[in-house]
Amino acid sequence: MLRDMLRVLLGLVLALPVVAGDLQVGIGRIKITPEKPIYLSGYASRKKPSEGVKLDIWAKAMAFQDKKNGKVVIVTTDLIGMSRQISERIGAEVEKKYGLRRAQLMINSSHTHSGPTVRDNLETMFDLTPEQKAAIVEYGNGLVEKMVAVVGASLGDLQPAEVTVGHGTGTFAMNRRLAVDGVIKNSLNPTGPVDQDVPVFRITTPAGKLRAVLFGYACHNTTLGGDLFLVHGDYAGVAQRELESANPGVTAMFMLLCGGDANPQPRGTYELVEKHGKSLAATVSGVLAGSMKTVSGPVRASWQMTELAFAPHTRAQFEEELKGTNWFKQRRAEVMLRAYDAGRPVTTIPYPVQAFRFGKGVTLVGMGGEVVVDYALRVKKEFPGEDTIVAGYTNDVMSYIVSKRVLKEGGYEPVESHIYYGNPGPYTEDVEETVMGAVKRAMEKLGRKK
């Protein structure tokens, strides 16, 4: 009798139509490979433009819409990073064309060091001819058009979907800040802090067919060095390629998390970039094949702007730099002195923090700049109880964003890197609390409490 009843109930369940979750998802993608030689960004050692393409680079978009028409869009790019000027232009055009507020659009960059220089972002590290500068401006203008188009493509593709999230563990990120005789060197530190988490979003049709994958990792895309001059998405580009090759018709998207003080190890060759990319793709595939948690609506977005303060500096300081023999410091000094001449010395810089929350289960935090791992660890610790994913390199990459610990230790990230970013640097000692204050305000607007 009981068996007969169970058979009837099972038959009724199997006969039910497939019902989608309460989210719709749309996907868009567009190639952003430069069509002509252009300076590749990330390494100041490069003295000439690119010489070809080893792996195409892309901008990809994933739009989410809930039952009440709440929307957010995540855009990933195989680029060194967005400048505020470029992302603001994109945001303004997206709002004008599609009615999407700036808070609803999150733009993340993989920080590949084999991608084109983006206007206003690390341009000061190169001694460019007028023609080379023009190529960067032209690429940036075209990039704005393509980014707006890919957002539109994702919004136009919205359809019922099942969204799930899971986590894997990476293997090749290593902390790169090593204390040698009391001085921090840019070198391997196997015992230094690192975040090996690999969060994975799986997007399927209501019938279970895979449509897209969004995954992240906290590690610089610097497997390839400054001695190479071919456009390439580094390990993140390889991982996306591998996932798409293994799943025809699927779009794979990569987000860079808080990897400001982590490098892939080992590094330096195309063979190694293939190894790391395939390793990460295998990790993602393992997550997709396992048990994952359902992601539901509503979707909500918040946005916070704050100002990060630089340590006090003087005009005389940069006048001395200008007299020196270090070309990079001279270039930085020229930028700073122009600001002094205009009566607006650079004392602060705008800093964006963004957050998307899906139901009461998953929150994605997007932080500007090259964020060190301390922030991801702190945010996840202070906001427990939900799946919290913390990404750096989002919306604007204006500098390294260092914690109080890293600032106190000194070294490349808190001090020397500002030379190449054209900032006076370093930040004041309250930088971590200022950043975390913006994070907390963004989280509180979404109902997340400490």
- Residue 450: predicted pLDDT: 80
Beta pairing partners, 65: 24, 71
- DSSP H or E segment with residue 98: helix 84-98
- Residue 444: predicted pLDDT: 97
> 16: burial class by Cβ within 10 Å (0-12, 13-18, 19+)?
exposed
pLDDT digits (tens, 9 = 90+) for 344-382: 999 999 999 999 999 999 999 999 999 999 999 999 999
pLDDT at 91 over 60: yes
Backbone angles phi, psi at 9, to 5 degrees: -65, -40
Q: Is the dihedral of CA 331, 334, 340, 344 positive or negative?
A: negative
**Burial call 308-333: b when 16+ CB within 10 Å, e when fewer:** bebeebeeeebeebeeeeeebbebbb
Q: Residue 320 corresponds to which amino acid?
A: E
DSSP-based three-state secondary structure for 416: helix
- Residue 124: predicted pLDDT: 77
Residue that has been written with the tokens 């994958």 in this structure: 213
DSSP letter string, 66-83: -TT--EEEEEEESSS---
Q: Where are the domains of the chain?
A: 23-297, 311-341
Q: Of 21-30, 124-133, 150-159, 219-228, which gets the smallest average pLDDT?
A: 124-133
Give the global pTM.
0.94
> 19: burial class by Cβ within 10 Å (0-12, 13-18, 19+)?
exposed
What is the SS3 assignment for 353-375? EEEEEECCCEEEEEECCEECHHH
Q: Confidence band (pLDDT; 50, 70, 90) for 16?
A: very low
Count of beta carbons in the 10 Å neighbourhood of residue 346: 16
- Residue 180: predicted pLDDT: 96
Across the chain, mean pLDDT equals 94
Q: Of 118-122, 167-171, 280-284, 400-404, which gets the smallest average pLDDT?
A: 118-122
How far is 396 from 304, CA to CA, in rounded Å? Answer: 13
pLDDT digits (tens, 9 = 90+) for 238-269: 999 999 999 999 999 999 999 999 999 999 99
Beta pairing partners, 164: 202, 294
Q: Average pLDDT in the 38-57 region?
A: 97
DSSP letter string, 135-203: HHHHHHHHHHHHHHHHHHHHHTT-EEEEEEEEEEE-S-EEE-EEEETTEEEES--TTS----EEEEEEE
Q: Average pLDDT in the 288-292 region?
A: 97
> 358: burial class by Cβ within 10 Å (0-12, 13-18, 19+)?
buried
Are 34 and 161 in contact by the 8 Å Cβ rule? The answer is no
Tell me the CA distances in angstroms from 320 to 122, 222, 311, 315, 394, one per residue in order: 22, 33, 18, 9, 35
* Cα atoms in the 13 Å half-sphere on the side-chain side of 325: 0
pLDDT at 13 over 50: no
Q: Average pLDDT in the 67-85 region?
A: 97
DSSP-based three-state secondary structure for 307: strand
The 8 Å CB, 24+ separation contacts for 88-96 are 89/144, 90/144, 90/147, 90/148, 90/151, 93/144, 93/148, 94/148, 94/151
pLDDT at 84 over 50: yes
Q: Which of 428, 422, 398 is CA-nearest to residue 339?
A: 422
- DSSP H or E segment with residue 6: helix 2-15
Residue that has been written with the tokens 């390990």 in this structure: 235
Tell me the residue ranges of DSSP E strands in 32-100: 52-53, 58-65, 71-77
Q: Residue 16 corresponds to which amino acid?
A: L
- Residue 120: predicted pLDDT: 75
> 396: burial class by Cβ within 10 Å (0-12, 13-18, 19+)?
buried
